[in-house]
Structure 1
Amino acid sequence: MRKYRISKDLGEMDIDVIHGFICQSYWAKNMPKSVLQKALAHSLCFGVFTDANEQVGFARMITDRATYAYLADVFILDEYRGLGLSKMLMTDIISHPDLQGLRRMVLATRDAHGLYAQFGFKAVPNPEVLMQVWQPDVYNVSPSPC
């Protein structure tokens, strides 16, 4: 039986695996690797690894580690889904010492509401107070950097 572990060591993260998934995702299609590397360097990262040290999942928290955190770029590779790894990953994230006592923790998802609800995330009751600068095509340049 295969075992899995979570690492928070940025040096262990496999940028090729992470970029390969993220640059094809609906939320960050065509993100250049250099942008992703910068994002990872300024985030609290969580990688899911097999007992053979292959990276099969990832998530990152964009946070000041005192008051606010935004959960981003969460994924488990397709062939490893259904093994409970997303729950294992979320349990590790939610229990991380630097993420305790925050006033607000948020995320955006198109299709995983059920997973996140198990960890206390709820729809924003007053979305009218939220604002954003939205540039959905910021990574869509020719030729594709992905």
Structure 2
Amino acid sequence: MSKPAFTISTDTSKLDVEMIHQFLSKESYWAKGRTRETVEISIKNSLCFGVYTQEQQIGFARVASDYAIFAWIMDVFVLPEYRGQGASKLLMQAVVNHEAFANLHRWGLMTHDAHTLYQQVGFQKLKNPEYFMEYLPEKK
């Protein structure tokens, strides 16, 4: 059996927002319970990448950036039945090589279990983790 052909697009009109919301809110470890409204706002305010086989969306990633200095990658996933077939690597290569990000000085992301994927496109552990801070406001 041959691997399916995957394509990547940043055309937000092609995104299957229902599928994205369903995966993030029900299946991901990082966005459980995220509302549809929050997903829609995050898509509107990010450069989004869809992964498709034929016309069916099977993966997603979004990037928040100032397009000059920094970008943060979020909400990366490929549906379970398509994992291990190269879609994730193709997606991440498309993200880091996108022309909009050609002059960035730093990328960031967080992952619990996909270090190997991100290392394949150049990510590494923080050289100075003590420099980084975070603010986690209380949920209202």
User: How far apart, in 2, do the equivalents of 1:27 and 1:133 lie?
Assistant: 16
Give the Å deviation of 1:94.
1.2
Give the Å deviation of 1:131.
1.0
Q: Secondary structure at the match of 1:35?
A: helix
User: How far apart, in 2, do the equivalents of 1:26 and 1:82 lie?
Assistant: 19
Superposed CA RMSD in Å reads 1.4
Q: Secondary structure at the match of 1:17?
A: helix
Q: Secondary structure at the match of 2:7?
A: strand
Moved over 6 A (4+): none
Deviation string 1:55-79 (CA, Å, 9 cap, x unpaired) is 1000001111111100000000000
Q: Secondary structure at the match of 1:23?
A: helix
Relative to the length of structure 1, the TM-score reads 0.89
User: How far apart, in 1, do the equivalents of 2:22 and 2:134 lie?
Assistant: 27
Q: For the Cα contact (< 8 Å) 2:67–2:103, is it kept in 1? A: no
Query: For 1:114-129, what aligned pairs fall within 5 Å after superposition?
Result: 114-129=116-131
Identity of aligned residues (%): 42
Deviation string 1:81-122 (CA, Å, 9 cap, x unpaired) is 111000110111111001112111010000000110111111
Higher normalized contact order (CA 8 Å, seq sep 6+, divided by chain length): 1
Instruction: Please list every run of 5 or more consecutive structure 1 residues that lacks an aligned counterpart in the other structure.
Output: 142-146
